[in-house]
Amino acid sequence: MPELPEVEIVRQSLDRRTRQKKVKKVLVRNRNLRLKIPQNFAKHIEGKKIIKVKRFSKYLIICLSDKSYCLLHLGMSGTVHLLNKKKKNLVTNTSFYSSPLIPKKHNHVEIFFNDFKIVYNDPRRFGFFEFLANDNLLKKRLSHLGPEPFQKEFDLDYVFSFFKGKKKSIKNFLLDQNFVSGIGNIYASEILFLSKINPEKKASFLSKKDCKKLILNSKKVLINAIKKGGSSIRDFKNTLGKSGNFQKNFNVYERNRLNCMRYDCKGIIKKKMIANRSSFFCNICQK
């Protein structure tokens, strides 16, 4: 599933191409996504300009000219493709993984503009589109989510207070979108490595110093991943034909049984299932 950096890369591609462009037509080929697309969805979008494309957590927010919104979540396998009318794109995929070619039977939604169209493709259909008529409805829809690591609300008081008396592991909480938004399995492992914290450690056992490191390294890892175009676990290329490169900087993720990357550590990277997800960590320097 795409995490915050990969969704941000998609946002940048969409915003660059669709800003101030008018939606001519919306074609819904399959309404049966994770949330069923309403019958009148197309009517809400057609004829409106896209003012900009924003993002919160793992959600794309398409801001429309009448101050309404189209919310898009990519789910497990959703990809967004940009196709030009007049020339064939060698690469269409704005998303972080999967083939740059479109398996057409999974094209569920198409949004048409003057000289190009957006195609939403999703083999597993865990993604969804949602129309929200105003700002209040958007805020209410996202109110269950915790702050992003970049927000000022994600500070020492918030983190340390949240962890008091909590029995679950710190890895559980980094994946909990009610606590912090946008971090997924890949980046949780990398954040905990930089912080020298074992993923199985109970959150209530973390000191204020540990919490400071988590806050700092959450920002550091995500910013670095965005700069490097996200993590291409398979063969993603964006619309400029560039792959994400952050996977070349993994310290622990998918490095099971390899030596720890720290120059002064003789540990070995271990793999363990925590919170039903594969966790990677050093058996010596992460305590």
Q: What is the pLDDT of residues 155-205, one digit of tens each?
A: 999 999 999 999 999 999 999 999 999 999 999 999 999 999 999 999 999
Do residues 45 and 133 both lie within one domain? yes
| Mean of the per-residue pLDDT values of the chain | 90
Average pLDDT estimate for 62-87:
92
Of the candidates 3, 8, 148, 190, the residue annotated as catalytic is 3
- pLDDT grade, residue 41 (50/70/90)? very high
Respond yes or no: is residue 124 known to be catalytic. no
Q: For the chain, what is the largest distance between any 2 Cα atoms, rounded to a whole number of angstroms?
A: 61
Are 136 and 11 contained in the same domain?
yes
pLDDT number for residue 241: 43
262/175 same-domain check: yes
Instruction: Look up 190 and say whether it is catalytic.
Output: no
Residue 150 in any domain: the answer is no
Residue at 256 is within a domain: yes
Q: Where are the alpha helices (DSSP H) in 126-207?
A: 135-141, 156-163, 170-175, 185-195
Catalytic member of 8, 11, 55, 58: 58
Q: What is the CATH number of the domain that holds 186?
A: 1.10.8.50
CATH of the domain at 75: 3.20.190.10
CA distance 94 to 92: 7
Is 123 noted as a catalytic residue in this protein?
no
Name the active-site residue from 2, 5, 100, 199.
Answer: 2
The residues with which 118 forms a beta bridge, in sequence order, are 82, 111
- Identify whether residues 131 and 169 lie together within a single domain: no
Q: Same domain, yes or no, for 112 and 171?
A: no
Say whether pLDDT at 88 is over 80. Answer: no
Domain that holds residue 202: 156-282
Active site residue 277: yes
Say yes or no to pLDDT of 209 above 90. Answer: yes
Q: Examine the fold and report which residue of 141, 173, 203 is the final residue of a domain before the chain moves on.
A: 141
- Using CA atoms, how far residue 253 sits from 128, 153, 206, 220, 231, in Å, is 28, 28, 22, 16, 11
Q: Does residue 76 lie within any of the structural domains?
A: yes
| Amino acid 90: pLDDT | 67
Residue 20 pLDDT class (50, 70, 90 cuts): very high
Among 113, 141, 169, the domain boundary falls at 141
Mark whether 127 and 181 lie in a shared domain: no
Does residue 193 lie within any of the structural domains? yes
pLDDT in tens, 226-277: 887 665 444 444 444 444 445 567 899 989 999 999 999 999 999 999 988 9
The yes-or-no verdict on residue 118 having pLDDT over 60 is yes
In a domain, 73, yes or no: yes
For the chain, what is the domain count?
Answer: 2
132 shares a domain with 12: yes
How far apart are alpha carbons 193 and 38 in whole angstroms? Answer: 44
